[in-house]
Structures are given as C-alpha cells and as structure tokens.
Structure 1
Amino acid sequence: MKVKVREKADFIPIYLPEELKRIPEKISDVWRNRFMESFERIGLNKDRIIKIYERMLIARYADMKGYEMFFKGEIPGYFHSSVGQEATAFGVIEALDPEDYIVTNYRGHAHYIARGGSVEKMMSEILGKATGCCKGKGGSMYIIDFSKGILYSSGIVSAPLPVAVGIALGVKIKKEQRVVVVFTGDGATNEGEFHECVNLSSIWNLPIIIVIENNRWAITSHVERMMSSYNPSLRAIGHNVPIYIVDGMDFFEVYKVSRKVVEYVRETSRPCIIEALNQRYHGHTRVDPAYGIYRSREVVEWYKTNDPLLKMRLFLINMGWLDEDEISELERRAKEEVEKAVEFARKAPYPELSEVYTDVYTDYSVEL
C-alpha cells in the first residue's frame, strides 16, 4: 500500500483568515480602560500608538516601492526587502532613548524609519544621490545616519556585530548611560563573529542588546537545515547571556519585552539577546522570488495572515480610535509621502566626482 506524502502547504489551517474576523465588534469600556492603564505603564497612549502605525505604514510602502524599483533596474546595486518584519524594528527602537546607539544591517530600511529617519534621505541614498543620508555613497545596504544614532550598517553578513561590540566598549569606557542595539539575522548566528561577540560582551559586561530577526530562512535555507536548534538565541546560554524569544510579528509584545531588556541593560551594563520570530514576505534578491524556489505560495500567504500592520489596524479599529475611512486616509498619506520622496530622489543630483575622496578617513584628536 502506497502512502501519499503531502506537501507542507496541505497542513496549513484554512480557517485562519476566518478567525481574524471573529474579533468582537465592540469592546466594553471597563476592558478598554484597564487595557489603556496597562499600556500607559509602559509608556504608550492613543496618540503615540497611532503615530507608530503611521510610521509603520511609511516603512512598509517605502520598502515595497524600493523592491519594485529594484526589479525594474532603477536601483544601482542591491535592495534587500524587510517587508513583514516592521513590528520588530518599531518594537525595539520605540523602547530606546534618543541618545542610544543603533547598528543595523543591509535589511535596515524599517530600522531607519522607526528611528525617525527622513524618507527623502533614505530613497535618495538607495538611488545613489548626493541628498542621501550617506551622500549617495552607501546605497540600500548602508542606511547610516549619525544624527539618528544609527552608526553603522554593512552588506556583509554578521559584520555589524563586532562593530557594535566596539561601540558598546566605547560607551563603557566613557561611563555613558547609553545602550547599543545591533540588529542581525538568523543566518548571521552561524558565523564565528556571533559567538565571539556574545562571549566578549559577556566577559566585558557591555551594554549591548543583540536583536536576532529570525525569519527562519536566512537567505534561502531553513533553520532546520542550518543549525541544531530552531532558536539560534539558545546558543548564547553557554556564554551566560540572558535571552528573550518574542513574536516578532506583534509590535506590542516586542515593545513590552524590549522596554524590560533596555532597562536591564542600562542598569547592569550586561548584554542581552532578543530573538524575534518574524517572516520576510519577499525574496532575498532579484533571482530569489518570494515563492517558487524554496517557499510555496501557500506558505507565504499563510505568513501574511499574521501581518503586523493588519494586527495594528484591527487594534485601532476595535479600540474605537480610528474607523475604516480614517485608516484609509492614513494609508493614502503614507503612500503619498513615499511617492513624493521617490520623485525628490529621482530629481536629486548624483555626487560630484571629487566626492570619491572624501569621507574615507577621519582625523582623531589625541589628548596627551
């Protein structure tokens, strides 16, 4: 007797989209008041949550626009999309103080927008224009802006980790109260730098938070094929570093845990790891479509039923803070802001040839 082997997609529960419609239409005032009391204890209120949702929309549309331009050949170099991972970016960064430092990676567009970065500067940088946040010299993989506390990014997997450790060491030597956050991916934890940096952070007691954005696929290989543990953060246990594993598709969960972790790291000058389980909707590069090579269409569409922006949208509506028309208006304004930023970037000039020799080295003053 032959046993039919079913594809993974066959196991996807088809009722999930219907379950999203079962959220109660009305919430009691008592429940709403208690809910907001708990939010206010962690620094959230109605106006701030709506503003965060607006910025998340901008991050989503900017990333989608960049991905579209990349496939049309308009962007020099590469463009790596982070669509689907916005809740992790905003949840962590909203928990930081303005003086804290951030080290990002080549999938860092949402990190920059979450930090309050200019969409015009980001799109200009992606197109290699002089008006970009790095004067057009970095491109999509190097969205760096010192004015926002974003000190480094890299197109090399795991390269931001040792740089972040160095920044955290500098913070400790200067006896500052800053926290350093570095964003990395599940694939980067297979590099030697991950273990070296976690170890040094632990034995040197550095104020650093390593955020692992675990989308489970790295570039094109599932974690089950690449590592012995489904959760790469568990590797840090051997280095005596606390870890938190959170739903990276839920802004509120990421934010709540991040506030706790930031407070701990700031007070103790000890490292900590947050592993955010999230999903990347798009492929890694132009030759890697969203589905068809290593992920089926059904799987990717299943991911989207847990979309972080959908969760925020339903929350705002069910709290009675915004209705469908107001949500649509926010979406329209976000798209318009992104389109204006793209047109600005398209018309902006390229850097002058003489600029190739600037911003390469810097002189440091030494006090004797």
Structure 2
Amino acid sequence: MLKWMSAGESHGRALVGILEGMPAGIEISTAKVAQYLASRRAGYGRGARQKFEQDRAHVLGGVIRGKTTGAPIALLIENSEWPKWETVMSPDPVPPQDLKINAGKGDEREIARNQPLTRPRPGHADLAGMLAYDLEEARPVLERASARETAVRVGLGAFAQEFLKQACGIELISYVTQIGEVSLAAGHPIPALSTQEKLAENPVRCPDEKISEQMISQIDAAKNNGDTIGGSVEVAAYGVPIGLGSHVAADRRLDARLAAALMSIPAVKTVNIGDGTQPYLPGSAAHDEIIRGEDGEIIRASNHAGGIEGGMSNGQIIRVSCGYKPISTVPRALRTIDLANGEESCANHQRSDTCAVVPGAVIAQAQVALVLADALLEHVGGYSLAQVRENLQGYQKRVGARL
C-alpha cells in the first residue's frame, strides 16, 4: 500500500514530500524527477513565477545510486523565491517593525508582501480557512492552499509512473480537452503514447492543432480583460491489468479512489470516468459489449466506461477527466469584505497565472499514477520490483487461462 503526503508553503523555504510503500529496485534519478517537474511549469497562460522557479529537487531518502530501496522516499523541492519572503514567512518570531516595511512593487493591485491579508478572495480557501482555524489573516491559508503544493505531487508521481512502467508496462498520457468555450469534439480519439513529445511541445497540450490555436485565443482574451479562465483535461492509462480496485468496499473502488485524488487538486470541480455519455444513453448503447476479436481473444466493442466497471479496471484503456475552475486570484479583483474592519472592499490580488489548465493535465497525470500504483501493489503485493513482476505474471497467467 502506498501512502503519500506533502508539507510546506507556497513561499516558504521549500516543499517536502514523503512517499511510503514504493518497492525496492525501481530505477530513477534526480534528473528524471526534474523532467517531470519541468513539464508542470510549462504551458500557455502561466505567470511570471514559472520563468524563474526551477523546482530544484533533492531526493533525501529512499533512493541509493539510482534505485529505490523500499524505504520511505523523501523529496525536497526548493522555492527559489524564498530570499524575498524570509521575513513574512519566517518560522521564528520577527520584530513587528519589520512587518511594517512595504515590500510590494508599487502596483496598487499587488498587495505588499508584509501586510496582513484580511480581504479574502472569492473562490479561494481564504475566508473558510481564516474562520475554521481562527486566524487573523489569510496568509497561513493561501500559502498552504496554493497550487504550488502540486509540485510535490508531480515529483512523487514521477516515482509512481516509473514504477508502473517498469513493473508492468503501464504508461500514462495527459492532454487538454477544453479551455473556456473551446473544446475537442465529443468522442475524440485518445492520443497515442507516441505523441507524448508532440503534446509536450504544444503550448496548450492539445492534440488538435486548430483547436489549440482557438484555446490560445481564449487565454489571450481573458488576460487582456484582466480575467482568468478554466478548462478540462484528460488522462489515459495504457496497459492497466484487469481487476485493479475492488467491488467489495466503497473505499477500495478504483473509480472512487481516482475521483478523490483528482478532486483533491486545487481548482478541480468535476471528475468524469470514461466518455461521459452513459447517463444520457439507453442501456443498450451505454455499455461496452464483450465480444470475440479476430484472434479469438475476448475484447470490448467500445469503451464508454473508461476502462472501469464495478470499481475495477476491466483491461481497457483507463480514461479519466477533470474540470478546472478559473484561478480565483483575479486581476480584475472581485468584491469582498475586509475582515479587519468589516467594510466592503476588493479582494487581495497577488501575482497569478491567467490559465493553469495546461499544468493541470500534468498534475492530474501524477495523481492518477499514484492511485494506479497503489491499486497494483494492493492487488499483487511485493517488497521489490522483481517480486511485483513475478506476482503479476502469476495473476495474469490465471486470468489468461480464464479468457
């Protein structure tokens, strides 16, 4: 069983992640983790921070000479902006006068770094977090609720993706299906794994060039209007064995686990398994019939279910999508109430992206990988990569005999 967690703040010294339960023998390097992290920083609509934030990663435990040891993996990701925030984000007390220094840029929309953030932003965790944790300002809330934390998820997801690939050949691909009012056509084909590089090079990570151009126009329009924009992404997992997950308990259902993992990503508001047409079709058309292929093997006539039935993988490509709301830090600041004096005001504005849907695809891919890795280990077990392979081969042999 895999367990993972993160710690750290958006403008703190660093982010830290722990991944427990990863088998020994998986080949990985700091450079490989850095490649995954770099993909999260890419994408049209990103803000200035991504230009200089290098996400320098350090593996502090669980890996020796390029292979996992079976011990908990500890990952640290530096925040390159830390020197600018040492005072306001100091873990130790600081002189009160130091917090009265205006550290902003002079832009009236840019709140001075050292000033209390008492004007909660609609759509963010600010207001609920201040009240729930009895805080005088939103700084402790927004620093932790920030999507910056997802860098750790992508870093830990790198280990999960390498494990899946090396254990049984599972590979994942992610792409953007919608930005604003522009989307891929219903029933669009799943991109082949061979298109990974081409997708990574596309500014909006979209498999359709013409649609991609329209998506870019949507982002430009939002930026010019002092606004933000959301959209949807999809993750496809190739090569997933049949039977991962379980029907016997609610918290073991694979679709439920995937939905929970994706909904935990900041700004995700919807999750969908499969093509989403099942609720609107008659049963005779909604389900994936089981038939014999040309070589006599058992196959499906379609994949409306997205590779999951009854809480378990059914041997087809797993297809899961999620929708991201527009970023809540809107340059054209929204109305709010200043909790310092109870007066009507405009929400705090700090530097942000116009659109974070493109990196959202990479983040979703990491979350799906972590869930699939956990489900695979739950099903076949093993403390080492060799044991996992051997156990999986035995299981697949039994399944092959039945089919």
Q: Does the alignment reach a TM-score above 0.5?
A: no
- Greater Cα radius of gyration, structure 1 or 2: 2
Q: Counting helix residues as a fraction of each chain, which structure ranks higher?
A: 1
Give the TM-score normalised by the residue count of structure 2: 0.22
